Amino acid sequence: MKIASWNVNSLNVRLPHLQQWLGTFAPDVVGIQETKLEDHKFPDAALAAAGYRSVFCGQKTYNGVAILSRSLALDVQMGIPGFDDVQQRVIAATVDGVRIVNLYVVNGQDVDTDKYAYKLRWLAAVHDWLAQELQKYPQLVVLGDFNIAPDARDVHDPSVWNEHHILTSTAERAALEKLLALGLHDAFRLHHDDAEQFSWWDYRQAGFRRNLGLRIDLTLVSDALRARAVESGIDREPRTWERPSDHAPAWVRLVEASA
């Protein structure tokens, strides 16, 4: 079972890229972030023609998340229960017995701003909800654009992207560590120890060509799935295409449970 996450940075713009990538990479499930589409404009028919069912929640211009799957998505949840938020950043569903939680984590803008404080509150709410989800669904994958680089290996210049910088600040990384402490594992790091393997590159300053990136797109697997997560990676290919998203897909492959 191949499960992927991709911030497409506007599904309206990137639909041809998504269709091409679905045809070549052929994931079984993919979480999409930053669709930037109201629900009535979501291209579910076009994606169905590519062999994928869609569940989604979006809004005009900003945010928006979706789960695409070959199999039927069950028990769909939109938003964080009990957390009042107009921003469409969370969708969850069960596909082939695996609970998929797709997050578009708040960026935070800058440390010590209201948006940063909101990010930390949002992450705390996600933590409390995921603690409940793991009790209900032990086989769980949390994926998405986390807008947090886990450690110094995940940034191109640790002297700049340090404990005082947005996306790498002490409080943000502590919030991510708290999520992992629930019994989640960074699937990429189960198979790759090397630095400078990134999933996001700024459009400016030839960021991709110079590999001036960050690894902020993550796939986290639960304890129950850790042994089944036999392969993981980042697919850089779509970032080379014309008018690309600034993010590349991150993915994990699960094998069937042994008898």
Cα gap 162→146, rounded to integer Å: 17
- DSSP percent split of the chain into helix, strand, coil, nearest 5: 30, 25, 45
pLDDT at residue 19 in the model: 99
* CA distances from residue 195 to 32, 163, 211, 237 in whole angstroms, order as listed: 25, 18, 12, 19
Known binder of ligand: residue 145? yes
pLDDT at residue 259 in the model: 55
Known binder of ligand: residue 147? yes
Catalytic-residue membership of 104: yes
Q: How many whole angstroms from its chain centre is CA 201?
A: 15
CATH for 2-254 is 3.60.10.10
Which stretches of the chain score pLDDT less than 50? none
Catalytic-residue membership of 137: no
**Which position among 116, 154, 217, 247 bears the catalytic label?**
247
Known binder of ligand: residue 7? yes
- List phi, psi (to 5°) of 186: -70, 105
The number of helices, as runs of H, and strands, as runs of E, in the chain is: 6, 14
Known binder of ligand: residue 172? no
- The tens digit of pLDDT for each residue in 145-189 reads 999 999 999 999 999 999 999 999 999 999 999 999 999 999 999
Which position has the token pair 């708290």? 178
Please count the residues of the chain. 259
Does the model's pTM come out above 0.75?
A: yes
pLDDT at residue 258 in the model: 73
**Cβ–Cβ < 8 Å for 66, 31:** yes
pLDDT at residue 257 in the model: 84
